[in-house]
Amino acid sequence: MTYFTGLDLHKRSVTATTLDAEGAVVATAKVPCRAPALRAYFAQIPGDHAATVECTTGWYWVKDAISSEVHLHLAHAKGVKAIAAAKVKTDAADAKMLAHLLRTDLLPEAHMISDEMRPLRDVLRTRLRLVERRVAAQNSIARLLEKHNVRDVADLDALGQLQAQCHIEQAESLHAQIKRLEKALHPHLVPDDDVQRLLRVPGIGKAGAFTVRLEVDDIARFPTERQFFSYCRLVPGADNSGERARHKRSRDGNRYLKLAFSHAAVRALQYYPEVRAWYGTKKRKKPEAVARALVAKEMARIVYHVLRKQEDFNGRFKGRPLSRAKKEQWPLLPSPASITGAGEGPVLRPPSAGMGGE
């Protein structure tokens, strides 16, 4: 018999409720957030187990603790709330509802990244947070100069220079940490076939290719390109009522892919005349931000088909051949043999430059 368990996860405890195939409660317990305690709960109920936990911060350790004995599903927290909002909300009620949704095949599932890619994705997201902090430190220096209406840190008074020096040291320290994280990712991602294909797409550099590869994980989970656009936050939401139809901004989807494709659009406009010409036709009819978003959407369309078909980029944008091709230099590997590590060609060493767009 298969049992269905809902896990309501908190920082210090997990409330588990198990149902049988008929929906009757078999067991319920509140156990500490310890792997042995969680495994002991499932061990007391012989049989096959399926369990679900919401995609909150702590689900990593739950999967690592029970995945060998229990088939774990990751529940989409917002989707569960939309389906199962109730007046009475307790840990036991939440766990039972999760188990019920799993048993009746109504559970809105979130994607569970593969074990191989999960630590790499975390490192890349940490890199982005450090980049944001570095930019904040640099902006603080600019605001300090603006506040005193001077052009150089040397023109500030002693206390002003002290503040600026603290921001400069912070930015330099963050830059060094960012480089360490990038270097740790290189041996895992640069030789990856999908990363090599992505690096040939207009506007996508090393950071963008790494982001798309790790955040998408498996392109097969998007049956259509429209679903991919929605996940990347490249299309607006709908706010329709009666005869009224209008768009709205939505935060549903992956913010990291939104950033990656928005950056790719800026770089493609900078380097490719054909992309810039198409953007100009849209800009004449739509606001500049909308026209730029449409370029980002086209970048995502190219990426979707490159990954879906497992083919290299064909060098065309909206049916027109691009007049510019990317240079065959690191991190682009010179041949498929080099991608698999089987060639006899020269080994390309990474330059000291950062993870740029081109």
d(CA 300, CA 51): 34
Residue 219 is predicted with a pLDDT of 96
Mean pLDDT taken over the chain: 90
- Can you tell me the mean pLDDT for 245-270? 90
Q: What would the mean pLDDT of 55-77 be, rounded to a whole number?
A: 92
Enter the pTM of the model: 0.87
Q: Torsions phi, psi of 313, nearest 5? A: -60, 135
Distance CA 114, CA 220 (A): 13
Q: Could you read off the pLDDT of 161-185 as tens digits, one per residue?
A: 999 999 999 999 999 999 999 999 9
Integer angstrom CA distances of residue 185 from 138, 262, 329: 25, 22, 18
Q: Are strands 316-317 and 320-321 parallel, antiparallel or unpaired?
A: antiparallel
Residues 77-98: tens digit of each pLDDT: 888 887 777 677 889 999 999 9
* pLDDT for res 339: 44
Q: What order of strands is seen across the sheet that includes strand 71-75?
A: 25-32, 13-19, 2-9, 48-54, 71-75
Assign 262 a pLDDT band (cuts: 50, 70, 90). Answer: very high
Residues 287 and 314: beta-carbon distance below 8 Å: no
pLDDT-based confidence at residue 335 (cuts at 50, 70, 90): low
Return the DSSP state at 68.
Answer: T
Q: What is the pLDDT of residue 86?
A: 67
pLDDT digits (tens, 9 = 90+) for 286-304: 999 999 999 999 999 999 9
| 327, 351 contact by CB (below 8 A) | no
Give the type of residue at 340. Answer: T
What's residue 81's pLDDT?
A: 81
Longest dimension (CA), the chain: 77
Q: Which helix (H) or strand (E) holds 29?
A: strand 25-32
- Average pLDDT for 195-222: 96
Alpha helices (H) along the chain:
35-43, 59-66, 77-84, 91-103, 118-148, 158-189, 193-198, 206-216, 225-231, 255-271, 273-283, 288-309, 336-340
Cβ atoms of 339 and 191 closer than 8 Å: yes
Q: Which two tokens stand for residue 216?
A: 């998408």
Percent above pLDDT 70 for the chain: 92
Cα separation of 274 and 151, whole Å? 38
